[in-house]
């Protein structure tokens, strides 16, 4: 199934293909404002885990969208913007995770679960988070 997308990619400016939609959504949350720098999280383990889950999902989705457009010649115009967004998001994620081994481990576990659940369905091999 690798290379065959279950979710089609359309190359129209008004297309509602999933990589474009993922990019638009992530741009709203993680765009140029670097909203995560102002993020204040309660010192509650449950709240902190929710933030990690959100970050893992966002990072995985950004990387998946980049891989999808790289694999589809019709979607090359999306490659640059999505790569830039994924890179900016990764730097924000790294800043939030810092050097806390427990947080990095939990993030990696979440990432693996997302990969196992969705990469085959989308026909992708999403690069692992750093």
Q: What are phi and psi of 103, to 5 degrees?
A: -65, -45
Cα–Cα distance for residue pair 66/81, rounded to 1 Å: 9
Question: How do residues 50-93 score in pLDDT, each as one tens digit?
Answer: 888 988 999 999 999 998 888 888 788 889 999 999 998 898 88
Largest alpha-carbon pair distance within the chain? 46
Residue 105 has pLDDT above 80, yes or no: yes
pLDDT at 96 over 50: yes
- Rounded Cα distance between 38 and 76, Å, is 33
pTM score of the predicted model: 0.78
Q: How far apart are CA 55 and CA 15, in angstroms?
A: 26
The structural domains of the chain, with segments of one domain joined by +, span 18-122
Q: How many beta carbons lie within 10 A of that of residue 68, not counting itself?
A: 24
4 pLDDT tier (thresholds 50, 70, 90)? very low
Instruction: Tell which residue, 21, 114, 30, 25, has the closest CA to residue 69.
Output: 21
């Amino acid at each position: 199934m690798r290379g065959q997308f279950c979710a089609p990619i359309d190359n129209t400016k008004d297309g509602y293909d999933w990589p474009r939609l993922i990019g638009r959504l992530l741009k709203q949350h993680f765009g140029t404002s670097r909203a995560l720098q102002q993020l204040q999280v309660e010192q509650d383990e449950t709240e902190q885990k929710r933030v990690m889950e959100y970050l893992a999902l966002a990072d995985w989705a950004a990387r998946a969208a980049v891989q999808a457009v790289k694999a589809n010649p019709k979607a090359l115009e999306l490659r640059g913007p999505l790569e830039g967004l994924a890179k900016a998001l990764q730097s924000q994620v790294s800043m939030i995770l810092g050097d806390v081994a427990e947080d990095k481990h939990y993030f990696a576990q979440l990432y693996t679960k997302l990969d196992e659940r969705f990469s085959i369905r989308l026909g992708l091999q999403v690069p692992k988070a750093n």
